[in-house]
Amino acid sequence: MSDANEPKLPKAYDHRQVEARWYPVWRERGYFHADEKDRSRPAFSIVLPPPNVTGSLHLGHALTATLQDILVRFRRMSGYNALWLPGTDHAGIATQMIVEKELQKTEKKSRHDVGRAEFLARVWKWKEQYGSRIGVQHAALGASLDWERERFTMDEGLSRAVREVFVRLWEEGLIYRAKRLINWCPRCHTALSDLEVTYEENHPGELYSFAYPLADGSGDIVVATTRPETMLGDTAVAVHPDDDRYRALVGKEVAHPLLGRRIPIIADGILVDPKFGTGAVKVTPAHDFNDFEVGQRHGLPMISVIGPDGRMTAEAGPFQGLDRFEARKQVKAALEGKGLARGAKPHLLPLGRCQRCETVLEPLLSDQWFVRIEPLAKPAIEAVEEGRTRFLPESWTNTYMAWMRNIHDWCISRQLWWGHQIPAWYCGDGHTTVAREEPARCGTCGRSDLRRDEDVLDTWFSSALWPFSTLGWPEATDELKTFYPTSVMETGHDIIFFWVARMMMMGIHFMGDVPFRTVFLHPMVRDEKGQKMSKTRGNVIDPLDITEKYGADALRFTLAALTSAQGRDIKLAKDRIDGYRAFANKLWNATRFALMNLEGFRFGAPAEERARTPADRWILARLARAVNGTVDALEAFRFDEAATTLYRFLWGDLCDWYIELAKEALYGEDRDKREGAQAVLAHALETALRLLHPFMPFVTEELWQTLRSSTGADGWPDSVMVARYPERRTPDDHAESTFGPVIGIVEALRNVRGEMNIPWKTALLGVEVGALSEEAHATVRAESGRIERLANAREIVLRPAGKPAGRRPQCAVAVGDSFEVLIPLAGAVDMAAETARVDKEIARVDEDLAGVAKRLSNESFVARAPAEVVAEARARASELGEKRGKLLAHRALLAGGEGAPAQEAPAPAPAPAPATERAPEPPPGEARTPLPPAREERRARPKKAAKVGTVGAKKAKKAKKPSPRAASAKRAAAKKAPKRKVLEGRAQKGAGKGARPPAAARRRPKGARGAAQRARRRPRR
């Protein structure tokens, strides 16, 4: 090959170089920018869920960025006016805490020491300094965000939108201020919404009983409580109205034993359960949510004995100043001293903790702002009922509905400094003025001594407006006209209430239409064992470490391949990312090969017209299928299916098969055929790169650009990201069904070799092929020389169509899509050695099986072990049983039986875990003769097109519907792959082409069998 033909691609794929190159180019050329004035094209819009400005991106964000970028790139390439709007959230508590900590650390000062104005100045400074990190990280991931429209929840425009919404809701009577019991964090010093509370369900506490002496000295009444210190704030004792034990006491009074005041005995049928405790309960309206309701029903005084700092107030008398937990001890001691203690018993109780700092929360009576939520929730429920917004996975619809129908008023005030300060002012007479701009006088009495409410709004208040505030609301902007409602809200299911529901309510109320048409709630990213990633577990994976090591393309493809439309969890393993890096590498090598063989080629007439051979037509048919499958999957948010389709086509059909098949034509003398192969190869590769671009934007751009410049393609756009996305094509079933069996037969023969341990150098003799359609028969006949070369078979016999197979003892049978292969084993297999090996294997399986069976028959193991462990053992047992069956069938075959239908053939896997290869593959072009067998075997294996010893119809349709068993086998194969590769590499080096690795290397060593089983035992859906 001449130097002029050397492709402009470096030999080795270096993701760091490739990925550093393209992002700035795309951005500078304005590809990310959507045109708000262009209404000639359909609009597609997504607002990025704003990450906290304090944070750096974790894998959840990387998933968000990946899925949204895939959707946006897909639509942009498909001719949409696509907007993807970025921004960050000011993250009230989180940000304030970080800056407070820093202030404490560096200057030993609290925020109160520096004052509100100075503190806020510090937060802004901090934001300027660190707030841009997230942008850098998004760039590394390739996110095609419209940076010109980047917003921040505290920027001027959004702050204006927040004030406008607040004032309007106030004017409509949908915002009010009231003294209510709220969840208070004594450490963070702020109110929390119900959603910000973590409940510990069964906290071990105690139920403490003590006696209240009756005021008239006629006896006492015993009450039980889990929080004795709150008795200092009791304002009643309640009994059930129908409880005969206490009927006579209702209306009397008890004397508070520690504070002296008198408190009434009341009857309340709602609060009191006569069967619980003594049937009499103390009532503390200012420190318990149920008691608060009782207080309101009965007009009881509400005495706060615990202050915002968690210490006892002056109302607690002698206990003033004590920490609430210390007060508990002392109150108990005091009751003891007065002889009123009546014992305690252990009691499990629910305990609310602050989601941020885990401090035990205190119900606190205070003035707070609320949104009257029911009138807002109603239309948001209807919108989903009417299908104006739909949830994916659909199961979330019920979750959303249940919450919306049970919704409570939303406490929106937070006692923080960092955030949107509430636009309300109070005059000396206590009137409230709510206004868009600072008022000079009280709206009620005209006094000018106004004081602004110090509280800020809940962070979610501003993010609830995100889909329209970011587009310029309250102005009637072109952006709103063009991009609202947005097309998709893609976010984690953990914030469906915090955020999605609130955006629905606010969007409908202020815009008159839903904020988004589809809500796609993506799964949570967990580690490979399915555990939540957390700092304490030490299993957090930083997406930037991954992009550095494997490339953003590999990470993106992995995340997409793991995102099913129904899943709630993603288990991320680094091996898998590594495997998809190998996929990128494979494409690199395939493109290099193509470029070396496209000498003199120019894109012109459609490839369909230039195709000459059945193989040419077959790959074009497979391409059409891949295009249709990918487009269908993307439109339905089935990211995993799209990834699987692309991977199978590119790695399997194009790289493994077509490139091999095309070599004859490319290297041959027949000019017509060569030009045909060139046109088909170039077309298939170029189309596939466009198809793959949304998933792996960097490597596809690099390869596409090289292809573009090497083939002098006129009129192509300047970048693959603005090229047209492939559109659905008419499938060519005929081309697939005539040539498909050629590939199926080669794969079947290779599989038989693998499973029967037949060395490559041993030719398969007297192979019989049957059950072919007439057309396929002709094609297979024409291609039989090729089949023989690719599988090292000789004297292939074609059985006439319609003629059934005769009895063929000692034959392996493989049945695939519309073909059947019989392979005589005599002469190919060393029967004695193979029999001995299989016997040994059977013995080992039996031993393992006995062990598992013993564990499972142990009742206490089944009853006590974690469900997951038991399920694992069961799965293992059934797996071993299955394996045993296969081995026995194999053994029978060796003993002179006939290939028998052992079981249904497994269908291809849904999401092929990639074959991991660390060393770059040699470019396909360098191997002109059939590849070394070890490699052929490896390549053939993951396909599982046909299986030895299997008779049974396996329809093409069925093959598309993957079975979980095959999926796990595939995972197992992938896990195994690195080891195999090493062994293969060594064998090849040592013995050259045509050699096979030592038998020991091919056989799975005893210790390795776990890999496959581990993979299978993982719980699956």
Candidate segments 135-143, 177-185, 798-806, 990-998, binder of Zn ion by CB under 5 A:
177-185
Strand 341-354 relative to strand 197-213, pairing: antiparallel
Interacting span for Zn ion (CB under 5 A) from 83-91, 288-296, 447-455, 469-477: 447-455
| H-helix segments, 406-542 | 459-463, 466-469, 478-483, 502-511
3-state secondary structure 352-400: EEECCCCCECEEEEEEEEEECCHHHHHHHHHHHHCCCCEEECCCHHHHH
What backbone phi and psi angles, to 5 degrees, belong to 599? -50, 125
Nearer residue to Zn ion within complex by CB, 58 or 431? 431
User: Interface with Zn ion includes 452 (CB under 5 A)?
Assistant: no
- Closer to Zn ion at the Cβ: 357 or 782? 357
Backbone dihedral region for residue 559 (phi beyond 0: left; psi -120 to 50: alpha; all else: beta):
alpha
Q: Which stretch binds Zn ion (CB under 5 A): 179-187, 277-285, 522-530, 761-769?
A: 179-187
Cβ proximity to Zn ion, 115 vs 428, nearer residue: 428
Query: Cα 775 to chain center, whole Å?
Result: 45
Give least dist CB 324 to Zn ion, A: 15
CA distance linking residue 936 with residue 916, whole number of Å: 15
Q: How far is the CB of 304 from Zn ion (least distance, A)?
A: 19
Shorter beta-carbon distance to Zn ion: residue 354 or 560: 354
Determine, following the binding rule CB under 5 A, whether residue 431 of this chain makes contact with Zn ion: yes
Indicate whether 440 belongs to the interface with Zn ion (CB under 5 A): no
Q: What is the DSSP letter of 1017?
A: H
Binding piece for Zn ion, criterion CB under 5 A, among 353-361, 593-601, 746-754, 1011-1019: 353-361
Residues with Cβ within 8 Å of 329's Cβ and at least 6 positions away in sequence, in order, are: none
Site track 358-397 with Zn ion (rule: CB under 5 A), x = hit: -x--------------------------------------
Which residues is 823 bridged to in the sheet?
A: 812
Which stretch, 221-229, 431-439, 459-467, 562-570, contacts Zn ion (CB under 5 A)? Answer: 431-439
Instruction: Give the shortest CB-424-to-Zn ion separation in angstroms.
Output: 12
185 vs 211 by CB, closer to Zn ion = 185
Q: How far apart (Å, rounded) are the C-alpha atoms in residues 402 and 708?
A: 54
Q: Which two tokens stand for residue 432?
A: 């409230």
**Among 178, 445, 900, 999, interactor with Zn ion by CB under 5 A:** 445
Site map for Zn ion, 519-558, x if CB under 5 A? ----------------------------------------
Element (H, E) at 191: strand 190-192
Binding mask 582-601 for Zn ion (x = CB under 5 A): --------------------
3-state secondary structure of 890: helix
Nearest-approach distance from CB 447 to Zn ion, in angstroms: 5
427 is an interface residue for Zn ion by CB under 5 A: yes
Cβ 533 to Zn ion, closest distance in Å?
Answer: 23
Q: How far is the CB of 190 from Zn ion (least distance, A)?
A: 8
Q: Which is nearer to Zn ion, 198 or 878 (CB)?
A: 198
Shortest CB 52 distance to Zn ion, Å: 16
Pick one of 71, 162, 182, 442: the residue that binds Zn ion (CB under 5 A): 442
> Taking CB under 5 A as the rule, does residue 481 contact Zn ion?
no
Q: Based on CB atoms, which residue is closest to Zn ion, 413 or 792? A: 413
Which C-beta is closer to Zn ion: that of 97 or that of 305?
97
Examine residue 799 and tell whether it contacts Zn ion (CB under 5 A): no
For residue 703, the minimal CB distance to Zn ion (Å) is 51
Instruction: Report the run of H or E that residue 851 belongs to, with start and end.
Output: helix 831-857
Nearest to 877 by CA among 1004, 1017, 971, 1018: 1017
Cα 969 to Cα 585, 909, 910, 973: the distances in Å are 24, 8, 11, 6
Q: Which is nearer to Zn ion, 192 or 977 (CB)?
A: 192
Gap between the Cα atoms of 334 and 326, Å rounded: 12
Q: Which of 464, 543, 545, 396 is nearest to 66 (CA)?
A: 543
Q: Is 444 an interacting residue with respect to Zn ion (CB under 5 A)? A: yes
The footprint of Zn ion on residues 99-158 (CB under 5 A) is: none
Of 187 and 347, the one with the shorter C-beta distance to Zn ion is 187
Residue 884 to residues 127, 876, 878, 880, 970: CA-CA distances in angstroms?
Answer: 63, 12, 10, 6, 19
Can residue 353 be called a binding residue for Zn ion (CB under 5 A)? no
Which one, 359 or 539, has the nearer CB to Zn ion?
359
Question: Which range touches Zn ion (CB under 5 A), out of 441-449, 632-640, 862-870, 884-892?
Answer: 441-449
Alpha carbon distances (Å) from 497 to 191, 193, 696, 766:
18, 11, 33, 67
Residue 549 DSSP code: H
Q: How far is the CB of 302 from Zn ion (least distance, A)?
A: 24
Q: How far is the CB of 191 from Zn ion (least distance, A)?
A: 11
Rounded to a whole number of angstroms, the distance between the first and last alpha carbons of the chain is 52
Which residue of 77, 98, 134, 185 would you call a contact of Zn ion, by CB under 5 A? 185
Give the nearest distance from C-beta 361 to Zn ion in angstroms: 8
To Zn ion, the closest distance from the beta carbon of 443 in angstroms equals 8
CA angle 146, 150, 154 (to 5 degrees): 165
Residue 163 CB, shortest distance to Zn ion, in Å, is 21
Return the exposure string of 349-364: e unless at least 16 CB atoms fall within 10 Å of the residue's CB, then b: eebbbbbbeeebbbbb
Interface residue with Zn ion among 6, 309, 394, 429 (CB under 5 A) is 429
Strand pairing of 262-267 and 280-283? unpaired
Residue 286 CB, nearest approach to Zn ion (Å): 20
Does the footprint of Zn ion cover residue 248 (CB under 5 A)?
Answer: no
Provide the minimum distance between the beta carbon of 442 and Zn ion in the complex, in angstroms, as a whole number.
3
Q: Which two tokens stand for residue 131?
A: 């707030």
From 357-365, 417-425, 702-710, 882-890, span contacting Zn ion (CB under 5 A): 357-365
**Which of 20, 121, 314, 357 is in the footprint of Zn ion by CB under 5 A?**
357
The HSE-up count of residue 329 (CA atoms within 13 Å, CB side) is: 4
Q: What's the closest the beta carbon of residue 909 comes to Zn ion, in angstroms?
A: 47
Note the residue count of the chain: 1021
Residue 333's Cβ-count burial label (10 Å; 0-12, 13-18, 19+) is exposed
Give backbone dihedrals phi and psi of 151, rounded to 5 degrees, phi first: -125, 165
Region of 963 (left: φ > 0; alpha: ψ -120 to 50; beta: rest) is: beta
647 by Cβ neighbours in 10 Å (0-12 / 13-18 / 19+) ranks as: buried
- Using CA atoms, how far apart are residues 251 and 169, in angstroms rounded to an integer? 44
Q: Which stretch binds Zn ion (CB under 5 A): 18-26, 199-207, 233-241, 438-446?
A: 438-446
The reply to whether 188 sits near Zn ion by the rule CB under 5 A is yes
Residue 187 binds to Zn ion (criterion: CB under 5 A): yes
Q: By CB under 5 A, is residue 354 in contact with Zn ion?
A: yes
Alpha carbon distance 814, 752 (integer Å):
8
By CB under 5 A, tell whether 98 contacts Zn ion.
no
Which part of the chain contacts Zn ion (CB under 5 A), choosing from 66-74, 159-167, 287-295, 440-448? Answer: 440-448
Q: Which is nearer to Zn ion, 354 or 772 (CB)?
A: 354
State the greatest distance between any 2 C-alpha atoms of the chain, in Å, as a whole number.
Answer: 118
CB of 183 or CB of 700, closer to Zn ion: 183
Size of the residue set binding Zn ion (CB under 5 A): 14
Q: Which residues bind Zn ion (CB under 5 A)?
A: 185, 187-188, 354, 356-357, 359, 427, 429, 431, 442, 444-445, 447
